[in-house]
Amino acid sequence: MNIMVTGGAGFIGSNLVDALQDHGHTVAVLDDFSTGKEENLEAATRKGATVHRADIRDPSAVAGAAGAVLPQVIFHLAAQVDVRRSVADPRFDARTNVEGTINVLDAARSIGARVVNVSTGGAIYGDVDTIPTPEDVEPLPEAPYGQSKFCAERYIALYRRLFGLNGVTARLGNVYGPRQDPLGEAGVIAIFCGVLERHQQPMIFGSGDQTRDYVYVADVVESLLALLAEPAARGEFNIGTGRATSVRDIIAALAPYSDRNFEPRFAEARDGEIEHSCLDVTRAREELGWTARTALADGLRRTLEWTRASSAPAAVAA
């Protein structure tokens, strides 16, 4: 199958690109490399993946890339994902996550492609009473990021009603694993792994009792492949583990890997951050046959191993 991945140079996107190629698909990547990394695509390009350097906020660029590739399916991952930036600059967030999605939908509509949209779970649902949270709970986002991603989902539903576009959304938990930037603004596990490797102390914003549904990137990729295999899938699917883990629990699990004090420091909670998030994944299990398989301890170990390998100095030839 001919497939395009927006945001394919990013953390999740590049892992997806590799898996699609392993399954025999022809893959094109659309990315502006503002956060994605060229090194994430080195293996993919050697295997024939094409790369289109473009911004999803540019409708003509998105349409041009889609018209050149003519994908049957577009996986849409390109997004602004920093909650703090969305609070500071909600207009930029909306231009990227809402207008960018509209550009992708218009391009898909023009060539008859299906869209598999990658969204967020916790940031969309907000602080709700029902935990684990199923897909039919009313979203109450606490930050512009969650609001913009929810709005993008509604545009997919609108384009189905208006134009018959085939689209579906994966609402992800807190994804972690290899290729997540340990120096980035999002991804607490990657950040803590980087802190550990630099022999520093982790910083907790708030009490540390806030919980998230941490799901390993390889499991997320498997869920997206499951959605690819179900062209009749509609609406939204929660993708997580169904288990809540606190920030303090993550630090305690990583502490044995440190050769010095790994006790956290504390700072004030940040605007837009929710307290508790955990996803009910019943629909994905029953309709897609998908379940997250990676235990948190194994995922943490693999992530830390990748962080250490990627930060090790390159060997110097004699």
3-state secondary structure 3-25: EEEECCCCHHHHHHHHHHHHCCC
Architecture of domain 177-211+243-311: Alpha-Beta Complex (3.90)
Whether pLDDT at 95 is above 90:
yes
Residue 272 banded pLDDT, cuts 50, 70, 90 = confident
With a CB cutoff of 8 Å and minimum separation 6, the contacts of 198 are none
Residue 312 banded pLDDT, cuts 50, 70, 90 = low
Q: How far apart are the first and last CA of the chain?
A: 46
Whether pLDDT at 212 is above 90:
yes
Q: What is the mean pLDDT of residues 224-229?
A: 98
Pick the CATH number of 2-175+214-239 from 3.40.50.720, 3.40.50.2300, 2.30.42.10, 1.20.1090.10: 3.40.50.720
Domain boundaries, the chain: 2-175+214-239, 177-211+243-311
Residue 185 banded pLDDT, cuts 50, 70, 90 = low
Whether pLDDT at 317 is above 90:
no
- Answer whether 0.85 is exceeded by the pTM: yes
Catalytic residue among 125, 145, 176, 216: 145
Closest CA to 208 of 255, 245, 253: 245
Tokens of 284: 């994905």
Residue 315 banded pLDDT, cuts 50, 70, 90 = very low
Strand bridging mode 245-246 / 211-212: antiparallel
Consecutive H or E run containing 92: helix 90-94
pLDDT of residue 318: 31
Residue 313 banded pLDDT, cuts 50, 70, 90 = low
Report helix, strand or coil for 244: coil
Residue 60 banded pLDDT, cuts 50, 70, 90 = very high
Tell me the average pLDDT of the chain: 95
Question: Is 214 designated active site?
Answer: no
